[in-house]
Chain A
Amino acid sequence: MKIKDADSIKRLAESSRQLLTPSVPRIAVGMSSCGLAAGAQSVMEAFQVECGRQGVECRIVATGCLGFCGAEPLVEILLPGKAAFVYGPVEENRCADMVAELREGRLPRDNLLGRREVGGAEIEDVPPLSDHPFYKGQIRIVTRNLGLIDPGSFEEYVACGGYQALAKALGAMSSEQVIDEIKSSGLRGRGGAGFPTGLKWEMTRKSPSSPKYIIMNGDEGDPGAYMDRSLMEGDPHALVEAMIIGGYAIGAQTGILYVRAEYPLAQKRLREAIGQAKEAALLGRDILGSGFDFDLYLVSGAGAFVSGEETALIHSVEGRIAEPDPRPPYPSEAGLYGQPTCINNVETLANVPVILDRGAEWYGGFGAEKSKGTKLFCLVGEVARTGLVEVPLGTPLAAIVHGMGGGGRGGAAVKALQTGGPSGGCIPSEAFDLPADYEALQKMGSIMGSGGLIVLSERTCMVDTARYFLKFTREESCGKCTPCREGIDYLSHVLDDIVAGKGAGVNLDAIEQVSRGIAAASLCGLGQTAPNPLMTSLRHFRAEYEAHVTENRCPAGVCSALLHISIDPQACTGCTACVAVCPVSAISGTKKEPHQVDQSLCIKCKACEDICRFNAIRVV
């Protein structure tokens, strides 16, 4: 169906509303990549089979991620006239019982996390989802549709108010007015550096040359960060809408969605959304009768972290190796095919429709003085509740880690937080009263980055973590400039030596000096920030380095070459489970009596620790 004007969007929104609040129960299963990894596909199929078998009329849909990944698979059941109830984790074998309870008119209670208001009668004894410790303090602006709508349905997006911001922009605003609105909202780039988005748009618009291009940077390469994946998979139309608005604002008629190859589902959902928008005539010529033409293409990455750097990304789209160029010129002057190009991060763009819809003033009411709005963080690692959280910028880190995250996994003490991935650094737990905003994190030697928050506990070795990131940047360096290629290689090998127990001669001060040199001399952001994980952990956890270097000891019990694995004779029951899994037959003993580890054979794979049910394996 072709949409010709603003009114027909409103009409479609009206007529589609019943998709979200049907007259029969609506069962929504979170089917993003993380949900699928947790078995959401089987859960959805089980609901389909059971509803058919038990004769319960339901509308079963696949949605994006509700954020509480630690409780996947997540299911929301909307009961007409009542509320929506969110469950997690929902195992496949529970589905039959849940459907039976629905058939009998009872509310399933197992693993019920809370209810979401949909304007119906309240069920008093079920607390709202926003009271659940994971959701308490979260504000859902960017993730407004995640987990609520079927990302494959154009109509459901429109039913939630989708494409009305586009209609407003094209119908009632000039390009300059759109830019002014974004400027006064205070929106800053969510990809890491925090450059004001409106200003970036204005610079590209004012660049004299044309054609111009707008690119969505969906090369979310930071390990431990998946905010952008969730948005692309869960609300693809919001990004398509934002790109059209951005194209209109800067004067571009071609947009490119650049998505990394590791995200096949995000690519599929965005391709579908482009197709649907084309069919609705929201892409192509004379959009909504405004005279504005715009086309959108999806370009896939091919596995290179450095592609996230703007000039490297441009080379990648052009079919070249992703090598950064020194700036100037900036992409806003000479970018894709040498033309003015604006590159925005996924999360940044996801803010655009809602800012235009509700106004810059409303948006500026959230967040901190210099950091307006909300930020998505991925809370992962050694944390009790993992997931995607959206909080106002400036929220203290402690509220995120201890409040929403519930502290260390299995009660472990939290030692530090790694922010900003391989370009960021660690923040020790003593500094968790710090607000999560651009300036505060930078002051700590870390960066906001795209928003990965990796919780490190007493069971995490800081030297090993630094080694992990340096190995990562060594493998991801494009190899163009000397300091990054040769310098990171050197640092990475030094850290390899330290964790392998060969660090006796290492001079930590000299390492720090080389790190500073690489940061100052490298060509692009990747090299300039690559030493951060090493420099920050050296600053805050020097004692751990010294224990490795001078005492040949890993205090966290992680670095396998420095470990000693033994069996506690008091705890061991002689069940022989460890004997069966040991790949090198290093464990021996009589059945039902304590066993021993032959140190000369042990390869420290920890398979025994993994299988032992009596906590008898000692790792020191």
Chain B
Amino acid sequence: MAAITLNGRLLEAEAGEKVLDVARRNGIPVPTLCHHPGLSAYGACRLCLVEIKSGFRPGLVSSCTMPAIDGLVAETESPAVKSARKLVAELLLARAPQSPEIRALAAGLGAEPTAIPKKDELCILCGRCVRACSALGVNAVSFVRRGVKRRVAVPFDKPSEHCIACQACVSVCPTGAIKAKITHEKVEMVEWQARRELQRCAVCQTPFVTAGQRDLVERTVEAGHQPLGALCPKCRRLETAKAYSMWEPASGVSG
């Protein structure tokens, strides 16, 4: 069992834990943007920086990627950490001045609008959507170009044939930069130029799932289980309950 020192407190770390995990488990607040517990660590936004004092090369590192090495001593609120986070927040605020999430984050870190020219973006290039799409094996979106010209897009900026309109990207995006238009009949992923009809439930005939989403679920379900993709969540619950005979009252039971 490894132990690290954060802000003077000696804390136990489990195998494979990152410094960020240890901090959060112990109630030490560390701001993050590109980090998501369900996705691989990326270390890009630089908000979760902490200052290593000893036990590794001293200086600022991203706590979401830094392994909790035994004997590590780090600070999460040192002057160097605070000023670096403030700069990052100022830069993000200039990039996405309209985003309420970024404004709240900046305010919390003491960052105010500066001389840095405003860009009026919503996407802050944290890459959560790209990682989510890749983790699902869909790979519809990726980063294109580089540096300041970097953005998230579908190949050739043409209507995506790979997007299954599962909206995983929408749910992991921290700034609401990805839009899905959902109607009774279909889902439209605006940025990825993908329109997908909703397939109907085999029982109640209500449209509820895109074909790609259904296929993905069926592929990932363990062999031997009943295919789940044909039924809407409500009918599936009823079917499941029926299978376990919790549905019809047993004949021998009296009120």
Contacts and interface: CB of A to CB of B under 8 A. Distances in A.
Direct contact of A and B (CB under 8 A): yes
A523 interface: yes
Interface of A: 304, 321, 325-326, 328, 474-483, 485-487, 489-490, 493, 507, 510, 514, 517-518, 520-523
Nearest to B47: A482
Contacts of A518: 87
A-B pairs, 8 with minimum CB distance = A479-B150, A517-B87, A486-B91, A326-B43, A521-B84, A326-B65, A477-B147, A479-B147
Contacts of B66: 326, 328
A32 B68 CA distance: 50
B151 to A, nearest CB: 9
Given A326-B61, A326-B62, A486-B94, A477 B46 contact: no
A328 B115 contact: no
Contact of B146 (A321, A481, A483): A321
Bin the interface of chain B by size: 35 or more
27 contacts: A321-B143, A321-B146, A325-B65, A326-B61, A326-B66, A475-B147, A477-B146, A477-B148, A478-B146, A478-B147, A478-B150, A479-B150, A480-B44, A481-B45, A482-B124, A483-B84, A483-B88, A486-B94, A486-B148, A507-B115, A510-B115, A518-B87, A520-B80, A521-B84, A521-B87, A523-B46, A523-B62
A482 B65 CA distance: 16
B23 interface: no
B149 interface: yes
Contacts of A514: 87
A510 B87 CA distance: 12
Contacts of A476: 146-147
Contact of A521 (B46, B92, B148): B46
B146 A486 contact: no
Contacts of B45: 481-482
B117 interface: yes
A483 B91 contact: yes
Interface in B64-109: 65-67, 80, 83-84, 87-88, 91-92, 94-95
A498 B1 CA distance: 55
Given A479-B146, A520-B84, A523-B46, 19 more contacts: A321-B143, A325-B65, A326-B43, A326-B66, A476-B146, A479-B149, A480-B125, A482-B44, A482-B45, A482-B46, A483-B46, A485-B150, A486-B148, A490-B117, A517-B84, A518-B87, A521-B46, A521-B88, A522-B46
B88 A482 contact: yes
B77 to A, nearest CB: 15
Contacts of B227: none
A485 B147 CA distance: 6
Nearest to A479: B150
Contacts of A523: 43-44, 46, 62
Interface of B: 42-46, 49, 56, 59-62, 65-67, 80, 83-84, 87-88, 91-92, 94-95, 115-117, 124-125, 127, 143, 145-150
A486 B92 contact: yes
B29 to A, nearest CB: 19
B60 A520 contact: yes
Nearest to A506: B115
A253 to B, nearest CB: 29
A475 B62 CA distance: 24
Nearest to A521: B84
Most buried by B among A328, A474, A480, A514: A480
A507 B115 CA distance: 10
B44 A521 contact: no
Contacts of A321: 143, 146
Contacts of A326: 43, 61-62, 65-66
B92 A474 contact: no
